[in-house]
Structure 1
Amino acid sequence: MNESRNLRVYLPPGYHEVVSYPVVYCQDGEEFFNFGRIATIANQLILDDLAEPFIVVGVEVDTSVRTEEYAPFGSRFEAYTRCFAEEIIPFIEQKYPVRQDPRQRVLAGDSLGGCVSLHLAMNYPEMFHRIISLSGAYYTDTQEIVAENDDLSWLDVYMIVGLQETHFESDLGVYNFVEINRSMKELLLDRGATVRYTEKDGKHIWGFWQKELPDALLYFLRA
């Protein structure tokens, strides 16, 4: 991408370089740490022996070009997804003892972050099998690409959407995220994916997603 990109890394209590760890890679890394409080949540889950120790990597994004990087029709999408899989992942794996099994890597994202996480898994199925999707922004382009896949039986997706997200104004227009996520759930199930799908009272904001992060993380990382 011909630029530098900040990464935020959370290391679990008792971290030791001779131990290998599952890893959660977060789109919108700054927001996952600041608004999602993912480091605090991870710490508590691990200290309470609910989750096995894991590492969190937040990949920061310039919000002014976020749609261009996260949406499949964006001008920076191909460069970003290649950078993520071919540069960021090897960089982290060189510096930290994270497990390299695709079942030990979790991609997490909110809104368009959920969308790009799904595309990463479809583009690199040998690398990513597990996704946390918080109110994923699965617009028409993404649904058409998923529909073209015959077999997604290797994919495991945790999806949640808020029931008050029926009229959300995004930079691309006004969308019913409940219907979008219901459609995506059916597309994924029809192609053999494992889907844990939940609808709850909530809006398209971090105040909702932060409360749901513990269950989302435990779905994949329960001790």
Structure 2
Amino acid sequence: MTDSRYLKRTIVKEVIESKYLNEQRTLRVYLPPGYNELLSYPVVYCQDGEQFFNFGRIATTANQLIMDEGIEPFIIVGVDVDLEVRTSEYAPFGSRFDAYTSCFAEEIIPFIEQKYPVRPDRILAGDSLGGCVSLHLALKNPHLFTKIISLSGAYYDLSREIIAKETDLSWLSIFMIVGLQETAFESGSKVYNFVEINRTTRSLLEERGASVYYEEKDGQHTWGFWQKELPSALAYFLE
């Protein structure tokens, strides 16, 4: 049973106007226990914001890490996505990919950094295609992002081709985990072996000098698996 202390969470909803996406985008901002505007905090940016908070229970996990594990207090920003256009925004072959990644780097980051006392110690987190777009955001903006949490990243052919063209990724640190039961994941009309996809991506990253923490564990391509792995993923960068 979850300790009731962990359930007392402060989550602020923000809405930004994006000129790149030509629409509004909702952000969910978790503020840690004892939040003080005079202090400064590391920040974790999550793709699939609503899912990270509702299914990943990331705010509850953050409270537990801060209250009981001695982790330095940190802020979380969840960026919501319309699931109907998720692939077009998160996949590098998507029609909204350039607009979304520009919105993230040039609109969301400045908005948060002007309104909240966050340090330029940024972590990007994502599941499946969310892990993919997080890595691409870092590749496109290495001056902004150097730390990635990738939960069963969906690094399809084009993503791996883009990574293969990189020559020096020694600035990048990535936490990768994939479930051993993710060998036949159906998406649309295709079936993907996420274990092989992540193994190949790991090799590509390491060959180019990236610092890679990599694990394969029993698990499916679901939030039931990813939720259990979030504490160790967050602690990896925040300890």
After TM superposition, is the score higher than 0.5? yes
Task: Measure, in 1, the Cα distance between the counterparts of 2:49 and 2:91.
Answer: 17
Deviation, 1:170, is 1.3
- Say what the alpha-carbon RMSD is for the aligned residues: 0.6
The percentage of counterpart residues that share the same residue type is 74
Runs of 4+ residues over 4 Å off in structure 1: none
SS state of the match for residue 118, structure 2? Answer: coil
Matches within 5 A, 1:81-100: 81-100=101-120
Deviation, 1:87, is 0.1
Asked if 1:142 is matched to 2:159, the reply is yes
Task: Measure, in 1, the Cα distance between the counterparts of 2:70 and 2:56.
Answer: 19
Whichever residue aligns with residue 127 of structure 1, its letter is: L
Whichever residue aligns with residue 92 of structure 2, its letter is: P
- Counterpart residue number, 1:162: 179
Deviation, 1:49, is 3.7
Deviation, 1:172, is 5.9
Whichever residue aligns with residue 129 of structure 1, its letter is: T
Deviation, 1:51, is 1.1
- Counterpart residue number, 1:115: 132
Asked if 1:131 is matched to 2:148, the reply is yes
Higher relative contact order (CA 8 A, sep 6+): 1
Whichever residue aligns with residue 72 of structure 1, its letter is: P
The match for 1:209 among 188, 207, 226 is 226
**5+ residue gaps in structure 1?**
none
Could you report, residue by residue, the CA deviation over 1:97-152 in whole angstroms, capped at 9, with x for unpaired residues? 0002xxx1000000000000000000000000000000000000000000000000
SS state of the match for residue 119, structure 2? Answer: coil
TM-score (norm 2): 0.91
TM-score (norm 1): 0.97
Deviation, 1:57, is 0.3
Task: Measure, in 2, the Cα distance between the counterparts of 1:149 and 1:172.
Answer: 30
Deviation, 1:173, is 1.5
Asked if 1:173 is matched to 2:190, the reply is yes
Whichever residue aligns with residue 98 of structure 1, its letter is: V
Between the two proteins, the alignment pairs up a number of residues equal to 219
- Counterpart residue number, 2:70: 50
Asked if 1:29 is matched to 2:24, the reply is no
